[in-house]
């Protein structure tokens, strides 16, 4: 029974930064080799970053991914790492690059895994199950592969699979059982979602049973636009036993020794004894075909036994907080911003965003601005200053009244127009500071406010990134209380306990316009997250009149969330509608 | 050879307004009956509007569509229109509605066509080819049908198909040939794109040859969010002859008599002589199955012969102008806005938007505001006033300098921050007028500016709708010149002929920052619309240094187009990222 030391490289990748991602593969492959590993696996689309969206339609991008893979194989060998088997995700395409404007979308493009060995790309596998729901649109981008790839390496048959392959029964994992493999290596770019780690382990266990093989599951970490990848890489035995598990949101190398069943006599071992690139043999079947590749050479002997261990799961609040911190940090750093600025109202939302920003970037990269008006209470200004002091961020005060008065003196405004004017003057000030000092503006509207439209368009919604975009108000409070238990409390107790107010007119409270967040949030969750209708929401125990009121607000607010003005499409590709690019994208056309 | 009088109802539908859409079907069915038609066909998803995007995941919505279809059949019979065969698009689902939050996206939901007759839904067909490219995401939303439906009506076999079925070879049209039908009715929601009508006719001709049958193609008209449907309905004979063709962007009923081959002896005619609902018989095949339904009764005799005629195609500029006018009009009216407001700079972009708005809504619903600063030239103010006079829109003047000065007096700003400040003060003024008077704000940045980021975030980009979002600058000029040849010229000649300027600093010109639009626009078109890379753009004859400069600008501007601040997704559904709803959506949960 051969002992294979595997290393799962749970690392961060940046969309479009092919050179940087390749360098990370070389760096972590060195670490894996230093740890004595025979095989190291990197996440799905490690070389290109994930998700690349419509970048895949640019042939120059696909060609760059293909070139980088070949160069990486050679570079690893030049680094003295040729004996290490390196499994890495990238984007491939069938045949030479077609003229993209003529090609059907998705045609011939592949979400691929490659195994690199001795300077060569010795095996490739194309993802079979393509997710096309939720945040995924892979039917738009890729052709599904229809063959499993099995590499005989050190006397063990290793199958290559990619991400969604593990989320659906049938396909590659049943083919792996048929192929009699000892190990399935699954490379992933699986985005975080609250409690997703509770789903992953049973899933990997089911697939390990289906394949009758050990499964090595490696996932990406890090933020990309609105997604954050949480790692949670693991190794599961064919009997479902959890052999090793990495941390959540941690960049790390999970190294683990596996005693694996030896493969039967190699089907093509005799043909591959010379130094030439191994030949692929294909077994045809009604189901997926199986492509077999056999590598020569023995595994180096191991002088000790390494177990990856099983990292503890972190609490729900820690999970969300860490996701928000990592999402913000990577958005800021990958987009090249030096610093962020935000308005501090003294309220809970801006306090939590400030605490997230300080945890993500350090206080020296965060500026908080008190934008007080005549309606701002003394406690609001005190709470904002208190927060600044607790967190150590840069603090400045920019009263808005002189500018508001200039508008009021020159225009006839009343009611809502005056309320919104104050929020918009604050937006102009923050954007002016952004232009003057290069800060990224953070906006602080939580998911509950966004859902019901309780914000000012081009006012408090101004900003390049919103850490609370997907966080309901009740969870904002929960996070604040949790964070204050972790070391010195950054958030003033008063910001947590006082009733929320927009302070745009005298004595205004959120509760003047909105139901209590404790009853509002469950309705939003049912309607927005679970597509429940009115009857289902009422059947779930919500008050009918309240359901009607909230649904009306949510429907009307749909428009407000589309701040980027829509306009009639007339061309081959209109921005946004049928041209969908990542925001963070470092791919440059060679300039 | 039976003579069938068909009517193609090229009409407007509104997403979510199921009651209003059903009423339109009854109104136009009455008109078809009055014109002596035996059969009338309405567009794809006539009952629900198109595209409905994630609304399809709400069971209450799908159930409402199913209920409305059955009610419509009964209502048509009650209207005395029971003998008329009515083909209409709607959304269906297999079996009873599942709990949507548990169901896999798309599972069991159908993009469907129904034939209504004598108060019953006598036949249904589920779209086979689902488009999942460009603006379409139908693999996300629907299951493909795998059977062709053939209805024997008045001695003619009529096959039902939907939209994309005609854009791909194989499938329903080859099944229609196998079934030996005389007529294929194709219902569509096919969005406009420049010159798309040049593609449609040859396409319908190819499919008619493939089916060996006459094809009746009916398309929607009207605007829905960023799409506009252009009609262009037509009837094409099996030999490819164009028998009748409706206008572009016109709401109309195309009535045409067809002498069609009679069907062979009805396979189930004997079983359906009573008043009961006709039985469906299924022929199984390796290819698509064929479901046959046979209706009893003879076609009423026709006392005259009707030909639909072939409408002239309109010029390219007229096509784009009409698309922009219709897109704006429907966006404003379907969303319930009474009026629009826009800033008038005296430049070409705002002049063209104003002319479009006046054509769409009439001058009494359009307010133009001169937002002059110290850098505004006299000719700019004169040109704005001249435009107002020519078009008859409401005109007002709001100088921005007092507000700009209030910011400058209270903050230390310089350079770009001061330029952007002026644009943002203008944005605040327009939004204040919007809040005070209920106007929708129109923004006026053309596609070239958007592509290279030549605009101020939360400044001139403020607005709820942008008619020029997908119109390159060179086309803006072309449209202005063309529009001025149609009746009284609305656009001052000086706005067309003067060099473009943002007027945010003394003597500023676009050409200080940008290449000439004549060389810029082809590069944008190649890079944005056709996904060409640097090498391909240079091979196409563009100057290498210019290509590098433009690509850098476009890449960096990607961020600016996402004004709705992204934020880390943590929940089941984050707004925008994995919850995609139409903006214009009149579906209400019974409240």
Same domain, A88 and A47: yes
**Partner B contacted by A477 (CB < 8 A):** no
**C-alpha pair distances (Å), B164 with each of B6, B47, B134, B200, B426:** 22, 18, 13, 12, 45
With respect to residue A563, please indicate whether it lies within any of the assigned structural domains: no
Cβ–Cβ under 8 Å, residues B218 and B252: no
Q: Which of residues 523-562 of B touch A (CB under 8 A)?
A: 525, 528-536, 548, 551-552, 555, 558-559, 561-562
Same domain, A108 and A154: yes
Same domain, B18 and B124: yes
What is the C-alpha to C-alpha distance for residues B18 and B16, in angstroms, rounded to an integer?
Answer: 6
Strands B366-370 and B340-343: parallel
Strands B156-162 and B183-188: parallel
Same domain, B285 and B144: yes
Same domain, B232 and B326: no
**pTM passes above 0.90:** yes
Per DSSP, the residues of A343-407 read E--SSHHHHHHHHHHHHHH-GGGEEEEE---TT--HHHHHHHHHHHHHHT-EEEE---HHHHHHH
| pLDDT score recorded for residue A285 | 66
Residue of chain B nearest A131, judged by CA positions: B140
Cβ–Cβ under 8 Å, residues A428 and A402: no
Per DSSP, the residues of B173-187 read HHHHHHHT-SEEEEE
| pLDDT score recorded for residue B254 | 98
With respect to residue A578, please indicate whether it lies within any of the assigned structural domains: no
What is the C-alpha to C-alpha distance for residues B424 and B458, in angstroms, rounded to an integer?
Answer: 6
Give the mean pLDDT of B549-556. 89
Mutation for A interface: B412, B531, B551, most A CBs within 10 A: B531
Residues of B in contact with A105 (CB under 8 A): 132-134
**Binding-site residue positions of B for ATP:** 343-350, 444
Which of A510, A541, A565 terminates a domain? The answer is: A510
pLDDT at A438 over 80: yes
pLDDT at A119 over 90: yes
Same domain, A258 and A329: no
Q: Which residue has the higher pLDDT, A349 or B378?
A: A349
pLDDT at B105 over 60: no
Per DSSP, the residues of B515-535 read --HHHHHHHHIIIIIS---HH
Same domain, A465 and A409: yes
Confidence tier at B267 by pLDDT (50, 70, 90): very low
Instruction: List the Cα angle B17/B227/B444 in 5-degree steps.
Output: 115
Residues of B in contact with A410 (CB under 8 A): 398-399, 402-403
Cβ-defined contact of A467 to B568 (cutoff 8 Å) = yes
**Partner B contacted by A18 (CB < 8 A):** no
Which of B458, B482, B510 terminates a domain? The answer is: B510
With respect to residue A586, please indicate whether it lies within any of the assigned structural domains: no
- Which domain covers residue B346, as residue numbers? 316-510
pLDDT at A591 over 60: no
Per DSSP, the residues of B203-260 read HHHHHHHHHTSEEEEEE-EEEETTEEEEB--EEE-TTS-EEEE--BS--EEEEEEEE-
What is the nearest CA distance from B292 to chain A, expressed in angstroms? 32
Residues of A in contact with B551 (CB under 8 A): 588-589, 591
CATH number for the domain harbouring residue B52? 3.60.110.10
Q: Omega of the bond prior to B306 within 30 degrees of 0, cis?
A: no
Residue closest to B357 by CA, chosen among B368, B371, B372, B348:
B368
With respect to residue B332, please indicate whether it lies within any of the assigned structural domains: yes
Q: Which of B37-46, B173-182, B280-289 has the lowest mean pLDDT?
A: B280-289
Nearest to B470 among A140, A469, A571 (CB): A571
**Partner A contacted by B412 (CB < 8 A):** yes
What is the nearest CA distance from B388 to chain A, expressed in angstroms? 21
Nearest to B531 among A100, A561, A563 (CB): A100
Same domain, A31 and A112: yes
pLDDT at A271 over 50: no
Residues of A in contact with B417 (CB under 8 A): 432, 435-436
Residue of chain A nearest B60, judged by CA positions: A533
Residue of chain B nearest A102, judged by CA positions: B530
pLDDT in tens, A235-257: 999 999 999 999 999 999 999 99
Same domain, A231 and A362: no
Which of A475, A510, A545 terminates a domain? The answer is: A510
Same domain, A230 and A345: no
Cβ-defined contact of B528 to A579 (cutoff 8 Å) = yes
Cβ-defined contact of A562 to B583 (cutoff 8 Å) = yes
> How much is the ipTM here?
0.91
Cβ-defined contact of A565 to B193 (cutoff 8 Å) = no
CATH number for the domain harbouring residue A392? 3.40.50.620
Residues of A in contact with B536 (CB under 8 A): 59-60, 99
With respect to residue A584, please indicate whether it lies within any of the assigned structural domains: no
**Partner A contacted by B380 (CB < 8 A):** no
Q: Supply the DSSP symbol for B24.
A: H
Of the CA atoms within 13 Å of residue A521, those in its CB half-sphere come to: 14
Cβ-defined contact of B331 to A566 (cutoff 8 Å) = yes
**Partner A contacted by B409 (CB < 8 A):** yes
Per-residue three-class SS string for A78-132: HCCCCCCEEEEEEEEECCCCCCCCCCCCCCCEEEEEEEEECCEEEEEEECCCCCC
With respect to residue A591, please indicate whether it lies within any of the assigned structural domains: no
| pLDDT score recorded for residue A272 | 42
Same domain, A255 and A394: no
Residue of chain A nearest B440, judged by CA positions: A565
Residues of B in contact with A421 (CB under 8 A): 428, 432
Same domain, B113 and B254: yes
Beta bridge partners of A185: A160, A216
With respect to residue A436, please indicate whether it lies within any of the assigned structural domains: yes
Residue closest to A144 by CA, chosen among A158, A127, A159:
A127
Taking all residues of chain A, what is their mean pLDDT, rounded to a whole number?
91
Residues of B in contact with A327 (CB under 8 A): 567-568
In chain B, the number of structural domains is: 2
Cβ–Cβ under 8 Å, residues A591 and B534: yes
With respect to residue B228, please indicate whether it lies within any of the assigned structural domains: yes
């Amino acid at each position: 029974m051969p002992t294979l030391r595997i290393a799962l490289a749970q690392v961060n990748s940046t969309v479009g930064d092919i050179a940087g991602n390749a360098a990370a593969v070389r760096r972590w492959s060195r670490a894996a080799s230093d740890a004595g590993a025979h095989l190291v696996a990197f996440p799905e689309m490690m070389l290109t970053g994930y998700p690349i969206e419509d970048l895949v339609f640019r042939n120059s991008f696909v060609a760059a991914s293909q070139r980088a893979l070949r160069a990486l194989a050679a570079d690893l060998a030049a680094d003295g790492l040729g004996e290490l088997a390196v499994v890495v995700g990238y984007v491939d395409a069938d045949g030479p690059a077609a003229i993209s404007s003529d090609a059907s979308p998705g045609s011939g493009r592949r979400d691929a895994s490659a195994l690199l060995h001795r300077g060569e790309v010795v095996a490739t596998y194309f993802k079979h199950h393509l997710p096309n729901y939720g945040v995924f649109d892979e039917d738009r981008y890729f052709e599904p592969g229809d063959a499993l790839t099995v590499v005989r390496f050190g006397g063990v048959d290793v199958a290559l699979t990619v991400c969604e392959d593990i989320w659906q029964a049938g396909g590659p994992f049943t083919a792996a059982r048929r192929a009699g493999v000892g190990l399935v290596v699954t490379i992933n770019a699986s985005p975080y979602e609250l409690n997703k780690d509770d789903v992953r382990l049973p899933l990997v266990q089911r697939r390990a049973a289906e394949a009758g093989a050990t499964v090595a599951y490696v996932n990406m970490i890090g933020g990309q636009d609105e997604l954050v990848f949480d790692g949670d890489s693991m190794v599961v035995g064919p009997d479902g036993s959890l052999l090793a598990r990495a941390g959540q949101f941690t960049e790390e190398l999970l190294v683990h020794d596996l005693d694996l069943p030896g493969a039967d006599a190699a089907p093509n071992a005799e043909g591959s004894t010379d130094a030439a690139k191994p030949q692929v043999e294909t077994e045809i079947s009604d189901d997926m075909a199986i492509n077999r590749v056999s590598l020569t050479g023995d595994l180096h002997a191991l002088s000790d036994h390494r177990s990856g261990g099983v990292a503890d799961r972190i609490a729900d609040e820690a999970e969300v907080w860490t996701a928000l911190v990592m999402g913000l940090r990577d958005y800021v750093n990958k987009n090249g911003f030096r610093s962020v600025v935000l308005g501090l109202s003294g309220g809970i939302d801006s306090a939590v965003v400030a605490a997230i920003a300080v945890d993500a970037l350090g206080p020296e990269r965060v500026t908080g601005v008190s934008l007080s008006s005549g309606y701002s209470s003394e406690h609001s200004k005190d709470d904002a200053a208190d927060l600044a002091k607790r967190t150590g961020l840069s603090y400045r005060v920019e009263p808005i009244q002189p500018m508001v008065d200039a508008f009021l003196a020159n225009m006839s405004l009343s009611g809502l127009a005056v309320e919104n004017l104050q929020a918009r003057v604050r937006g102009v000030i923050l954007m002016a500071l952004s232009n003057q000092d290069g800060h990224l503006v953070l906006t602080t509207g939580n998911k509950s406010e966004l859902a019901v439209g309780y914000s000012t368009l081009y006012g408090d919604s101004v900003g390049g990134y919103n850490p609370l975009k997907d966080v309901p108000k009740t969870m904002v409070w929960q996070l604040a209380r949790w964070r204050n238990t972790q070391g010195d409390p950054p958030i003033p107790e008063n910001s947590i306990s006082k009733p929320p107010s927009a302070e745009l007119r005298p004595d205004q409270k959120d509760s003047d316009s909105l139901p209590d967040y404790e009853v509002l949030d469950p309705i939003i969750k049912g309607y927005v997250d679970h597509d429940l209708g009115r009857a289902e929401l009422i059947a779930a125990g919500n008050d009918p009149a309240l359901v009607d009121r909230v649904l009306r607000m949510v429907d009307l607010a749909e428009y407000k969330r589309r701040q980027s003005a829509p306009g009639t499409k007339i061309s081959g590709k209109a921005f946004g509608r049928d041209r969908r690019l990542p925001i963070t994208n470092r791919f440059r056309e060679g300039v």
